[in-house]
């Protein structure tokens, strides 16, 4: 846990420093964090991350086999297998392989954070503390797909549907579940205001009570690729649902309304979609993972809400509250192992 405590402490300090630093200083801090994140992942043991061994096994086979061989022994999507094969043409070193994957995932996500977050260092703090960074150790394919969904955020903001759809097709070639993010474009401009809150809660309760029937209908339409986990009781699904609900109410009601801010509204819509998807997580981890495509955007939403507060005092109070919450959530996740990412072990 020592390396993670150093990271959380550093990110907390950087977040506070971010309040008074220049844009150039923020750029260097973001690059520093990216380098630290990548090196930690690149130098990790195969024991860090539940699925790390599986990816290294496929990479080892890719050095000698073709795409047909890889497709026959795994259910990985063709785009991801092609990506692995390309990497294997240039290196046989597994640490380099893990490093390349890490750069592709983290550089994409962190670039979007730097470009669009009102408080980049707070977003990076949340990215780490809320377990998203930890997830990239193990859920590599989906993390890469989520990174592409992050990259599509600019196309959503600028209303460029063709480029958005093309990027989603690429993401789906890495992980089919990325197709769920197609709904982000049409729903991004949905205007959810405070007066709609009771309606949202009513719909939430109806879906929650009937989620078994709804999910059985969805099950009939989805690919068999993910049905092996359909009736798995997703661990901590209700805890995450509660966190999402509290965060949604926080963004809706704390301080002045930000419904007139298009970015805040779009990001809050993503959070609301994540909440509704999370309703089905107790029936299947597939649902929980589908919600990640929207849930991860909360690292952009929370700084947006804080910056929208009318006074400096309120902004600082909210920042302290978020930092405390983040540390507590970090402690909860990583002390329990977090997909075998803790304790951290280097490869040597």
Q: 18-42 pLDDT, tens per residue?
A: 776 666 678 899 999 999 999 999 9
Model confidence at 258, in pLDDT bands (50, 70, 90)? Answer: very low
> What was the pLDDT predicted at 72?
82
> What was the pLDDT predicted at 227?
45
> Region 73-90: what's the mean pLDDT?
92
Give yes or no for residue 260 having a pLDDT over 60.
Answer: no
Q: Say which range, 210-224, 247-261, 264-278, has the weakest mean pLDDT.
A: 210-224
Closest to 191 in 3D by CA, of 143, 261, 274, 129: 261
Give yes or no for residue 113 having a pLDDT over 70.
Answer: yes
Model confidence at 184, in pLDDT bands (50, 70, 90)? Answer: very high
Q: What is the mean pLDDT of the chain?
A: 87
Q: Say which range, 175-179, 187-191, 251-255, 302-306, has the weakest mean pLDDT.
A: 251-255
Model confidence at 196, in pLDDT bands (50, 70, 90)? Answer: confident
Distance (Å, rounded) from C-alpha 31 to C-alpha 211?
Answer: 43
> What was the pLDDT predicted at 202?
85
Give yes or no for residue 220 having a pLDDT over 80.
Answer: no
Question: In b/e form, how buried is each residue of 166-197, taking b as 16+ CB within 10 angstroms?
Answer: ebbeebbbbbbbbbbbbebbebbeeebeeeee
> Region 187-200: what's the mean pLDDT?
78
Q: Tens of pLDDT along 270-313?
A: 999 999 888 888 777 788 889 999 999 999 999 999 988 888 89
Distance (Å, rounded) from C-alpha 88 to C-alpha 72?
Answer: 18
Report H helices in 75-139. Answer: 78-88, 94-116, 120-129, 132-138
Top mean pLDDT of 75-79, 230-234, 237-241, 251-255 is at 75-79
Model confidence at 253, in pLDDT bands (50, 70, 90)? Answer: confident
> What was the pLDDT predicted at 69?
81
> What was the pLDDT predicted at 233?
42
Model confidence at 229, in pLDDT bands (50, 70, 90)? Answer: very low
> What was the pLDDT predicted at 256?
57
> Which tokens belong to 12?
């907390």
DSSP code string of 176-234: GGGGGGGGHHHHTT----GGGHHHHHHHHHHHHHTHHHHHHHHHHHS-GGGGGGTT---
**β-sheet bridge partners, residue 44:** 346
Give yes or no for residue 226 having a pLDDT over 90.
Answer: no
132 or 204, which is more confident? 132
Closest to 137 in 3D by CA, of 236, 214, 37, 265: 37
């Amino acid at each position: 846990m020592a390396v993670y405590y150093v990271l959380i402490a550093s990110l907390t300090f950087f977040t506070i420093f971010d309040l008074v630093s220049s844009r150039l200083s923020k750029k260097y801090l973001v690059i520093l964090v990216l380098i630290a994140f990548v090196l930690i992942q690149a130098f990790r043991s195969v024991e860090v991350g539940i699925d790390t061994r599986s990816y290294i096994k496929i990479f080892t086979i890719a050095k000698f086999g073709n795409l047909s061989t890889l497709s026959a022994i795994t259910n990985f999507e063709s785009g991801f297998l092609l990506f692995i094969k390309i990497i294997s043409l240039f290196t046989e070193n597994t640490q380099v392989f893990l490093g390349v994957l890490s750069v592709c995932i983290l550089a994409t996500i962190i670039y979007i954070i730097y470009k669009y977050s009102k408080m980049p260092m707070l977003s990076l703090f949340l990215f780490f503390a809320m377990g998203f960074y930890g997830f990239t150790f193990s859920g590599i394919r989906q993390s890469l797909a989520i990174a592409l969904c992050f990259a599509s955020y600019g196309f959503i903001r600028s209303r460029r549907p063709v480029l958005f759809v093309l990027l989603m097709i690429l993401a789906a070639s890495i992980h089919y579940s990325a197709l769920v993010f197609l709904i982000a474009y049409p729903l991004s401009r949905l205007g959810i205001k405070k007066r709609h809150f009771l309606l949202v809660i009513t719909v939430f309760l109806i879906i929650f009570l009937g989620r078994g029937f709804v999910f059985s209908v969805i099950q009939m339409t989805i690919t068999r690729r993910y049905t092996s986990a359909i009736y798995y009781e997703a661990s901590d699904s209700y805890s995450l649902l509660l966190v999402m609900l509290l965060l949604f109410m926080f963004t809706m009601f704390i301080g002045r309304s930000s419904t007139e801010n298009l970015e805040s509204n779009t990001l809050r819509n993503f959070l609301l979609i994540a909440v509704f998807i999370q309703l089905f997580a107790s029936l299947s981890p597939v649902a929980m993972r589908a919600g990640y495509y929207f849930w991860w955007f909360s690292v952009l939403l929370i700084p947006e809400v804080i910056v929208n507060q009318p006074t400096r005092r309120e902004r600082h109070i909210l920042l302290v509250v978020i930092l405390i919450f983040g540390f507590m959530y970090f402690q909860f996740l990583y002390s329990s192992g977090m997909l075998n990412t803790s304790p951290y072990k280097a490869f040597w």
